[in-house]
Amino acid sequence: MIESKNDTSKNLEKALQALKQAQQRVANEKKKQNEKKRKAENHHKYIMGGIIVKYFPGCYRYDEGELNRILPVALQTRECQRIISKIKSESRETTQCH
């Protein structure tokens, strides 16, 4: 049996509406994922800031530019590089054991 133009138009309309709804669901899911990622990144930044304050309480005396000069130098000290290497090594060992 041949479908009438009306039935075809209704079917096409339904399909287009379903497509539109699916596209909206995809957009909403992407938005949720981006929000989740942003929240995780912000939390990480908050924690890192807290660590800086914990070990360098005088950091409040310096502005961002000054801290950008201080921290790279501090992180390049022999002692800091030694502990970074040790942590990386421990991390590799832990990863290999599991």
Q: What is the pLDDT of residues 60-73, one digit of tens each?
A: 999 999 999 999 99
In which band, very low, low, confident or very high, does the pLDDT at 90 lie, cut at 50, 70 and 90? very high
Q: Cα–Cα distance between 81 and 76 in angstroms, integer?
A: 6
Question: Is the pLDDT confidence value at 43 over 80?
Answer: yes
Q: According to the 3-state scheme, what is the secondary structure of the chain?
A: CCCCHHHHHHHHHHHHHHHHHHHHHHHHHHHHHHHHHHHHHHHHHHHHHHHHHHHCHHHHHCCHHHHHHHHHHHHCCHHHHHHHHHHHHHHHHHHHHC
Cβ neighbors of 87 (< 8 A, separation 6 or more) are: none
